[in-house]
Amino acid sequence: MEQKILNYLPTKAFNVKDQSSNDCIFNDVCFKEMVDASPLGIFVSDEYGCCVYTNTAYHKISGMTFEQILGTQWSVPIHPEDRPRVIAEWRASLDRDTPFQTEFRFVKKDGTIIWTRITRAAMTSGMESNGHVQTVEDISERKSIDCILSTAEEELFEEKERAQVTLNSIGDAVLATDIDGNVTYLNLVAENMTGWSRDEALGQPLSEVFKIIDGATHQEAVNPAKRAIDEDRIVELSADSVLIRRDGFESPIEDSAAPIHNRHGQVTGAVIVFHDVSESRAMMLKMSHLAQHDFLTGLPNRALLTERLSQSIRLAHRHNKRVALMFLDMDHFKHINDSMGHLVGDQLLQSAAARLKACVRDTDTICRHGGDEFVILLSEIEHPQDAAQVCETLLTAFTKPHLIGEHEIYISFSIGISIYPDDGMNADAAMQNADTAMYHAKANGRNRYQFFIADMNTQALHRLFVENSLRRALKQGEFLLHYQPQINLVSNALIGAEVLIRWLDPNLGIVSPMQFIAVAEECGLILPIGNWVLREACRQVKEWIDSGLSAVPVAVNISALEFRYKSFLDGIALILQETGLPSEYLTLELTESILMQDADSSTSVLQTLKDMGVKIAVDDFGTGYSSLSYLKRFPIGTLKIDKSFVCDVTTDSDDATIVSAMIGMGRNLNMKVIAEGVETKEQLAFLKSHECQEGQGFHFSHPLPADDFALLLDTDNQKLP
């Protein structure tokens, strides 16, 4: 094009006035009209690249007039990022005297950017160069199309790669066929599961590569791809399908097949997506087991028990049989859990579960109902006595200790029994009544079984009423303390007091602890109640001391739940610190059964209490079971003879012998002995004659409110008759 322009240019087209000024003048009107008509922009420059002429197309491309362009360098509109490259190419073309053509971004007058292609040709006069002619073409549209095509091609490639990577990365196997059922594609998972490589499988019949059978019958299964093609719909594989790998290995699978359509909606093949469900089926079975069994003991849980109980009731109704439901609650388990830790508690539950299983038939169901509660379902029994025999077996089996690590732990159960149809016509009634009977077994001394009887529900409602009332009493401060004097039997001097709780109910008046302590222990309220008793007793004694009265030590009864509580020792120390009571004014009374429940642990706790300065007394001595070797090791200061022995000491020779032996044993172990329940002169005379040091009972004084007891602390009134 450039050469044609030069050819059209007559000799007079250039009138070089001054070569140093490079001022080229075009004076041929025809040539100018022709050049202005060109759709390509034309930029004529002198040999130094400065503009001497531009046509109309260039003005349109650049957005500038000839006057604005005249004398400027041709390279001015080059985008700054493209400039180094384009200038380098220009110089290389000049140095080598070769044609110059390039593309770059062209910055217009208004700042917009377009893409242009520029071609340069030299203008010569003889052998000398007179300048350059450049054609400039706006290629933005072509560049845009090229960019779109390039982007589409790149995206198509990336999409194909992404699809391939995705298919090879997913956990499912993917296999495709053509309309004739021949394999056209396998991903890596499909290769591994079928045992066929892609190259080997391509073109093979699907039945060769994808062999499936019914897992239950081992018969050949229907080809899902063929059904998907024939029926033009998604087809789910049978739930029991098994894939036979090329080497004969079998694996259960789940899959579906879907038809493949072309752009016209015609079916051209099918794709099968499948995966190995060996682990998921095993997990499903495991989850099903876990959903119906206790994770700790492996026993059936409440959900499975409910199902089996309902089934047993239906069968018993059909066969005219009975069903026994036994509700078992481990006695004092919370004490063990709190004192020895949850790990020991869990191991004890596992040991108990194993022992329970050994006591019943394989056809019976043992369930862990929650916490330390178990339920035993005896299916199709003939007589209620059959359940009683099982209970006797259980109670006997649990007389032996459980060896948990270095601990020998004795546990027992309180068992409630309900019988279908005698005690209820459905599962809910049977469960509720067995639970009610269990609470009665616990209230009657634990380590026993109790059949349900009708009036127990009334008693259960009463128990619930007492529990709710106790919660209110704690919040509203309805408890108070009485103090029963303890007397030196030689000098008749007041030497201590036993702290006894009373409940001042707004409706019932004074309520004896015999009516609510058992309920408090069962529902766990004994902990906050016991904490209140300790704190209030220590506060009261400190108040007496600060008032100048001759205060005496007080003895506070400690329940098993309190003694085994993990924060028991810290709680004692905190109360003494906060109330400011010297520790020698506090005695803790514990029963033999509490101490012997875990003798080694008890020794450690008692020693810590002794180190704190707190005294220890064994309450109700003689009514429980204790090892004399442990009794000697325990840091005990006082033995309290239970009032059941003192009551008949003057009329029953056996009781007299027992009391006499207790007094002698205490003396030999360097322990003080105090007799409880002294009510007559004859009892007092017997105790004095056998050199019992101390006593308490109605003969000396009933338990007194704090204000009345304070009167006894006057030094002039400390001797009682």
Residues 447 and 485 in one domain: no
Residue of 169, 199, 166 whose CA lies nearest to 184: 199
User: Quick check: is 288 in a domain?
Assistant: no
Of 403, 433, 454, which residue is a domain's last?
A: 454
The parent domain of residue 16 ranges over 2-138
Res 595: pLDDT:
81
Task: Please write the tens of the pLDDT for every residue from 13-70.
Answer: 333 333 333 444 444 556 677 777 788 899 998 888 899 989 988 999 989 999 999 9
Res 457: pLDDT:
61
**What is the number of domains present in the chain?**
4
Residues 440 and 497 in one domain: no
Residues 297 and 278 in one domain: no
The 3-state secondary structure of 439-500, one letter per residue? HHHHHCCCCEEEECCCCHHHHHHHHHHHHHHHHHHHHHCCEEEEEEEEEECCCCEEEEEEEE
Residues 473 and 601 in one domain: yes
Q: How far apart are the first and last CA of the chain?
A: 143
Report the DSSP beta bridge partners of residue 365.
Answer: 377
User: Quick check: is 660 in a domain?
Assistant: yes
Residues 415 and 275 in one domain: no
Task: Please write the tens of the pLDDT for every residue from 670-690.
Answer: 889 999 999 999 999 999 999
Cis before residue 39, ω within 30 degrees of 0?
A: no
DSSP secondary structure code for residue 122 in this structure:
E
User: Quick check: is 675 in a domain?
Assistant: yes
The 3-state secondary structure of 304-365, one letter per residue? HHHHHHHHHHHHHHHHCCEEEEEEEEECCHHHHHHHHCHHHHHHHHHHHHHHHHCCCCCCCE
Of 454, 476, 509, which residue is a domain's last?
A: 454
In angstroms, the CA 500 to CA 268 distance is 93
Q: CB of 265 within 8 A of CB of 238?
A: no
Res 16: pLDDT:
35
Residues 602 and 507 in one domain: yes
Residues 368 and 427 in one domain: yes
Res 156: pLDDT:
67
User: Quick check: is 550 in a domain?
Assistant: yes
Q: CB of 424 within 8 A of CB of 430?
A: yes
Residues 14 and 104 in one domain: yes
Res 36: pLDDT:
77
Q: What is the CATH number of the domain that holds 343?
A: 3.30.70.270
Average pLDDT, consecutive stretches of 10 residues, N- to C-terminus, the chain (721 residues): 38 36 47 76 87 91 90 91 92 86 92 91 68 88 80 69 67 89 91 91 91 83 86 82 89 86 89 84 75 88 89 87 92 81 90 92 89 90 87 92 89 91 84 88 86 72 81 92 95 94 88 85 87 96 94 93 88 95 94 79 89 90 63 84 89 89 88 93 92 94 94 67 49
Residues 273 and 297 in one domain: no
pTM given for the model: 0.47
User: Quick check: is 686 in a domain?
Assistant: yes
Q: What is the CATH number of the domain that holds 72?
A: 3.30.450.20
Q: Rounded to 5 degrees, what are φ and ψ at 194?
A: -90, -20
In angstroms, the CA 526 to CA 534 distance is 12
User: Quick check: is 419 in a domain?
Assistant: yes
Residues 247 and 298 in one domain: no
In angstroms, the CA 512 to CA 377 distance is 39
The alpha carbon of 651 is separated from its chain's Cα centroid by a whole number of angstroms, namely: 64
In angstroms, the CA 258 to CA 272 distance is 7
Q: Which long-range contacts (CB under 8 A, 24 or more apart) does 137-141 make?
A: 137/40, 137/41, 138/41, 138/61, 138/106, 138/114, 139/103, 139/115, 140/114, 140/115
User: Quick check: is 158 in a domain?
Assistant: no
Residues 265 and 306 in one domain: no
In angstroms, the CA 194 to CA 207 distance is 11
In angstroms, the CA 17 to CA 24 distance is 8
Residues near 333 by beta carbon (within 8 Å), at least 6 away in sequence: 345, 348, 371, 372, 411
Residues 105 and 188 in one domain: no
Of 397, 419, 454, which residue is a domain's last?
A: 454
In angstroms, the CA 326 to CA 375 distance is 6
Amino acid at 642: D
User: Quick check: is 151 in a domain?
Assistant: no
Q: What is the CATH number of the domain that holds 474?
A: 3.20.20.450
